[in-house]
Structure 1
Amino acid sequence: MFALERDEREARAIERRRMLEEERRQRIFNPKARTIGVDVAALDEQVRIKEEAERAAAEREAAYAAEQERVRRQLLQLEAQAAEQRRDVLREQEAYRQRYQTYDSRKEFDLNDPDYLRKDLPARVADDDERLGPASLQKFEGEDLTGEERRKAQQEQMRRWVALQLAQKKQKQREEEEAQRLYELRQQEMTLRGLEMEEAQNRTRRAVQTAVKDYNAALAAEWAERERARKLAETREGLEEIHNNLNSDLLCENPYKAAAASQLPGRVVVTEFKGLLPEERERIRAIQAEQAEERARIEAARAEEERRWELQAEANRRAALRLEAQNQRERRAVNERVSGENAQLAAEARQRQEFINNKLYTNQPTQAYWDQWNTSTR
């Protein structure tokens, strides 16, 4: 008897623990039941702050892109000027070659001279020329030769040629030195211009950042002023509505109406009341017209405000598109780099996995080992 009661108690205890375990499983394994409540207002405020920061960043990026474009155009202009200067130097060098480095002034010109035979020694230069033989028919009696005079004239001509070549060489050296000096001056000027442009770019960037910061502050102040004006207008409209209700002839039952005047103060004769007087209707219509005009002005101001916001949104959208294009280019570059790194990591992972599977871990777990996971809350 006692054993049967003990078994029943143990069975009930086991069933109770089983039910508690099942409830715990449903509570723990249910992601909706585990979710903790969040502060929606705080999240919305964080989203708004993030969007404002993104808009400000987009505006700064747009201003920086415009400044980069201006600097790029200036650099292109400077490169064009440098290219023109290089072309001028090349033209001057070519002109110098055409003027002072002619074909006939080369030291090996005597090997390529087309008039070599004309300049060669004649068949007879003197009476004692060893080249003359008995049958050469070059030496005749009574012939007047001027060989000595010709040699002196040739020596004088050679001295003049050497002096002329020395003068031309010195002139060429002076011109090359002058060209090198001008080139160095141009290089120094270009370096100084590059430094000045970099400093101007830094100043412009700082000015743009300051302008963006002031613009954001102005936008925040303008938004606060609009909110204050809107709340003030809503309060004024509410007070006007309350005042109109309090002074309404229909709601207050004006005792001074001619058709429904009563002897009792603050009352009208219900059986004789036929509606409002024409003057009262006109006054109500005037009030309604004023309200309609006021509403029209409010609607116009609201439409103008929406148009301005739409223009601002369009400008932000264009800036976001430009930023997105730049981000896409950067992402493509990052993806290409990451793909290469992933390929390298994959190869290393395969080698490591082969080492683990073939050398380190030879005892692989079976499916029964994994099936026991996530079956209990303990």
Structure 2
Amino acid sequence: MFTVGLPPDPKEVAAIEARRNREKERQNRFFNVRTRVMGVDVEALNNQVEERKLQEATERSKEAAHGTNQVQYDLVVQMLEKEQAERTRRLAKKLQNFREQRQQLRNRSEFDFWDSDQLWREFPAYPGDRAPYYGPASLQYFSGEDLQRAACLRMQQEQFQYSLERQLQEQQQARVDENCAGKQGPPGVT
């Protein structure tokens, strides 16, 4: 079975030699103090460091681009906020002007519960009447009512009397003129 005198096969010799070389390289890696203390491949670590630096540089460039966009967005937001504040201020001013012009005290419909006599003091129930005992519910004034009707009637009666007296005077004067003309006789007869 075993032939002792045969020359070794060159393929087997090459395979054995390759195994011995791999084992020596392995032993050199294991027994090398520097490699054993590090415990890792230095080239692989250097490659990882380079990859990390490259990745950080790309992230910084992305952040810088994002930062410039963010600055632009902030400026746009500030402009929009200023415009909104100006619009709100203009609206508040218009509202205040409307309240001053159209919602005056005399036009309001609410009632102050803490001062129930307020409406009595502010506006009389009947214009020209300052009696304190009339309240807003006394209904002495209605819309469409002519408050100066009595004065107008008095003036109309005075005008009527004046025109009547004047007509009477004219008629009397006409009669006097007629009587005077009748006493003188017809013209041309003397």
What TM-score results when the alignment is normalised by the length of structure 1?
A: 0.23
Higher-Rg member (1/2): 2
**Taking CA–CA contacts closer than 8 Å with sequence separation of 6 or more, which of the two structures ends up with the larger relative contact order?**
1
Greater fraction helix: 1
TM norm structure 2: 0.42
